[in-house]
Structure 1
Amino acid sequence: MEGPLLMLGLLAALAVCGSWGLNQEERLIRHLFEEKGYNKELRPVAHKDESVQVSLALTLSNLISLGWTDPRLRWNAEEFGNIHVLRLPSDLLWLPDIVLENNNDGSFQISYACNVLVNPTGYVYWLPPAIFRSSCPISVTYFPFDWQNCSLKFSSLKYTAKEVTLSLKQEEKEGRVYPVEWIEIDPAGFTENGEWEIVHRPAKINVDPSVPLDSPGHQSVTFYLIIRRKPLFYVVNILVPCVLISFMINLVFYLPADSGEKTSMAISVLLAQSVFLLLISKRLPATSMAIPLIGKFLLFGMVLVALVVVICVIVLNIHFRTPSTHVLSDRVKKLFLETLPELLHMSRPAEAGPGPGALIRRSSSLGYISKAEEYFLLKSRSDLMFEKQSERHGLVRRLTTARRPPAGSEQAQQELFSELRPAVDGANFIVSHLRDQNNYNEEKDCWNRVARTVDRLCLFVVTPIMVVGTAWIFLQGAYNQPPPQPFPGDPFSYHEDDKRFI
């Protein structure tokens, strides 16, 4: 009997030693969840009227941290092998069910499939890896000089403000405690974006006094992210080409109408603006809430260029007018040939008139003209006709004039009139034809000058409109800057360099 009893004693001793040789964390877990009867469905409070303090913090590396105190998870570290941190699956513990309200993927719950850290005082620290897809309404009114205020709003939809009190995470520095009222940036896990820059990143507890305490919407913790777009890419690749192309429309008024390129150039500018408008529409969200600045500028430029095309057609119509189709009234001539050219500082051609040289030549020719008239009056028409022919055949030139009737007789006057009438009629016809041709050319030239005046007038009107409209549109974006402080009326910067100690 001593042999079996000895074996039983050894087995009992081994069992006791084995129980003492268990993993200290396993003993601690058994103590907390089996011996103390931990129930994750119950809030970690001693009385039902108490509230669980849950603190939140957000880091720009796709991580969120939560912390609260669960008195049922306290233990004496000396009794369990000096264990100061216990890692437990999140599905074993009570969780505050914090949700992201303004999400855009339909997943309100934060991923709980991760470990939770617990210390001997019962403080639970939960750091779940999560990628949040939040809905941030983007306003494109001042694109590409816009800034946006995106936010992440966290609240508990399961527990009310009487049961769970949300707060910001608190840290200690030099023995003083301060709340983390900003979004933390982890340099190792954060990469700066090439299109956006962070201006403000405050965190704030929002309490709605109009909502009762027993309603889930009474409190929330919101992390704001005020970002500003970096416009360099859009300025170099879109704005500068658009502005240069739009201002090329002013060169249309310098092109002469005879070149036939006025309307071609204006329509080419209009087509280039249409291409840029299509390119910009692909970069912007399809929304009818607002028109971006660059879209406003292109629409403004396209309307102005379309108006210039109409003006070019009108100018060409005026330029190619003739006296046979249109009549130039004195009022139009006074306005476009005298008044407007003087106001627009246009150089006008010199008036056509005899110069000093012409007057001298005319006076010196009077003697020849008088001698020619006397010669034609004294010689008969037959003598005038056959005088050169007789000289060619070797006949002597007649030195005496033909026999003429007395100068004062009626027959002489009739003969003189009959001889001069065909010449006078021919001269009158030539003079009348030259006068009509000069009048025709002069009136046609007046229509050309009217067209040039209209061109210059439109240049002086369209250029200031283009400059003022462009400056007015883009100055709106230049003055659209984020506020110096995150919240209007609140002078606090909500920055990590400006801590508010408790």
Structure 2
Amino acid sequence: MVAQVCLSERHLSESNRLFEDLFRTYQKLVRPVVKPNESVEIEFQFKLLQILDVHEKEQILSTSGILNHVWTDHRLRWSPEEYGNVSMLHVPGERLWLPDIILYNNADGTPTPRKITKADLYSNGSIRWTPPAIYNSLCLIDTQWFPYDEQLCTLKFGSWTYSGDELDLRQPDSDDLENITLPDGSCEIRVEVGVDITEYQESVEFDLLSVVGSRHERYYPCCDFPAIDITYDLAIRRKKLFYTVNLMIPCIGIAMLASFVFYLPSESHNKITLCISVLVALTVFFLLLIEIIPPTSTATPLIAKYLLFTMIMVSLSVAATTFVLNIHHQGIKPMPTFIRTFVIQFLGSSMLVYKKPSECFEKKKKRMPINDALRYLDDQFKKVEQVQCKIEKATLSYPTVISINHTLSNDKNEPVRRELRHKIRKISKNIKYIQKDIQRETNNEDMRSDWKLVAMLTDRVFLLIFSLVILAGTLVVTLTAPSLRDTRIPVTVYFPEVITYDDE
């Protein structure tokens, strides 16, 4: 126990002595080169930990990661045998020369690591510095297929002050390095998996499809030295479940309501109310959409196209419903022959819609007591007239009857008989007038029934047309999104195996 403590103290003292010897004359403001025209070679790689968020409205990508820097400082070499076999030191970053690698397309916050962490210094002068960072980078959001969209966001890293002749950024050695000469003469070295994703935590909103890394070496007109940067292209695809359940399905349901307006009977006063309610619901969805997508005029989002299509269909349904209600309330206006022929006969037979026989029978049944009463009264008055004629004929054949008739036809009874005949004729005339009026009302009721039948058939036609158009529009608008046919599997992360030892 005492030996271990002594060994630890000795090792600590050797580390202190080594640190003092290394940094006694060390100058952190000067590049670690032997000759001024030499460049410092930096092996750089971004280690992606998580995609924090994609701010569509601000067009910003938020990521969390670690910046891996590896370079060699010849001024910090030592022989481990001279310092108790100490081969590595943890040195505060503030004591070292550090490369000023920043994020060029930074949108918000600091483009450099927020905290200067310690670095690992090895005896051969190699330094490994891995500061953590949270970046908010610019990302041009393509909203054309929102919410089934795919985005390509870039992270461009490079030195802020040093040229390519002074600081040379390199990617780690890989088997899939590809040298490409661009049309402008610049050189590009591409790596298919340029980002370190060994500890990547999957995003709940986006799938990570590819992480291509590219080293660019360009010459600009202003300068005679190259500018070197390393750019990472992150291809991400939005997951479909959330927006399908919370945005697309409600929109499709509202669109279907535009066609079911025509399923309501024409007598209902809620047809227009339903149309206006659907328009209000679509307006609310538009307001929600404006809060999500960026205010760009370069492309119309997929969901906005569908909402616009739905709003047009709802507006047309309002106009069509007004037309149907106008037909329904035509009243006793004579129906043109071509409407009766085409709509009632042709469309009615095609759509299997006819006047119900039971309905016609019920109407006739309601009118039967009145018609029977009128016929009965008319028959009774005719019988009275026939009896009177028979009495007059009988007075000519039998004297007894003549004497009786003479007695009845004296001056006292004649006025009563004339008044009775006058009333009978008047009643008969009124009965015929009532019968004609009832017949006219029956005809008017038949005309109203025909117009209502035309309105119902028109409703059925509009129901069929709007249902087919909305269904076709829904399929065309939604299924055209490329991501719905994209079968690419998200980037697979392989974690190193953890070796465990069983107790014997």
TM-score (norm 2): 0.70
Alignment of 1:103 onto 2:106: yes
CA distance in 1, matches of 2:488, 2:319: 48
* Alignment-mate amino acid for residue 115 of structure 1: K
Could you tell me whether the CA contact under 8 Å between 2:156 and 2:232 is conserved in 1?
A: yes
For 1:132, what is the secondary structure of its paired residue? strand
* Alignment-mate amino acid for residue 470 of structure 1: T
C-alpha distance 121-401 of structure 1, shift in aligned 2 (>3 A)? farther
Could you tell me whether the CA contact under 8 Å between 1:203 and 1:494 is conserved in 2?
A: no
| Structure 1 residue aligned with 2:86 | 83
| Structure 1 residue aligned with 2:124 | 121
Alpha-carbon deviation of 1:237? Answer: 2.8
1:266-277 pair list within 5 angstroms: 266-277=275-286
* Alignment-mate amino acid for residue 145 of structure 1: Y
Could you tell me whether the CA contact under 8 Å between 2:198 and 2:494 is conserved in 1?
A: no
| Structure 1 residue aligned with 2:464 | 460
CA distance in 2, matches of 1:401, 1:458: 79
* Alignment-mate amino acid for residue 132 of structure 2: P
| Structure 2 residue aligned with 1:228 | 237
Q: Which has the larger radius of gyration?
A: 1
Could you tell me whether the CA contact under 8 Å between 1:90 and 1:116 is conserved in 2?
A: yes
Alignment of 1:257 onto 2:266: yes
| Structure 1 residue aligned with 2:437 | 433
CA offset digits 1:239-279 (Å, max 9, x no partner): 22332232133322122112323222333333333334434
| Structure 2 residue aligned with 1:54 | 42
CA distance in 2, matches of 1:399, 1:294: 104
Could you tell me whether the CA contact under 8 Å between 1:170 and 1:179 is conserved in 2?
A: no
Alignment of 1:65 onto 2:65: no
| Structure 2 residue aligned with 1:443 | 447
Relative to structure 2, which stretch is displaced further, 91-100 or 279-288? 279-288
1:310-321 pair list within 5 angstroms: 310-321=319-330
C-alpha distance 23-420 of structure 1, shift in aligned 2 (>3 A)? closer
* Alignment-mate amino acid for residue 474 of structure 1: T
More strand by share: 2
| Structure 2 residue aligned with 1:207 | 217
| Structure 2 residue aligned with 1:346 | 353
What is the RMSD computed on CA atoms of the aligned residues?
4.3
Alpha-carbon deviation of 1:194? Answer: 1.9
For 1:133, what is the secondary structure of its paired residue? strand
C-alpha distance 450-481 of structure 1, shift in aligned 2 (>3 A)? closer
Alpha-carbon deviation of 1:304? Answer: 1.4
* Alignment-mate amino acid for residue 164 of structure 1: L
C-alpha distance 47-63 of structure 1, shift in aligned 2 (>3 A)? same
Alpha-carbon deviation of 1:85? Answer: 1.4
| Structure 1 residue aligned with 2:479 | 475
| Structure 2 residue aligned with 1:198 | 208
TM-score (norm 1): 0.70
Could you tell me whether the CA contact under 8 Å between 1:134 and 1:152 is conserved in 2?
A: yes
CA distance in 2, matches of 1:181, 1:239: 34
CA offset digits 1:355-404 (Å, max 9, x no partner): xxxxxxxxxxxxxx9999798457439879xxxxxxxxxxxx9899989x
* Alignment-mate amino acid for residue 158 of structure 1: T
Alpha-carbon deviation of 1:28? Answer: 3.5
For 1:334, what is the secondary structure of its paired residue? helix
C-alpha distance 483-457 of structure 1, shift in aligned 2 (>3 A)? closer
Structure 1 runs not aligned, ≥5 long? 1-19, 173-177, 354-368, 385-396, 404-417, 487-492, 498-502
Could you tell me whether the CA contact under 8 Å between 2:192 and 2:211 is conserved in 1?
A: no
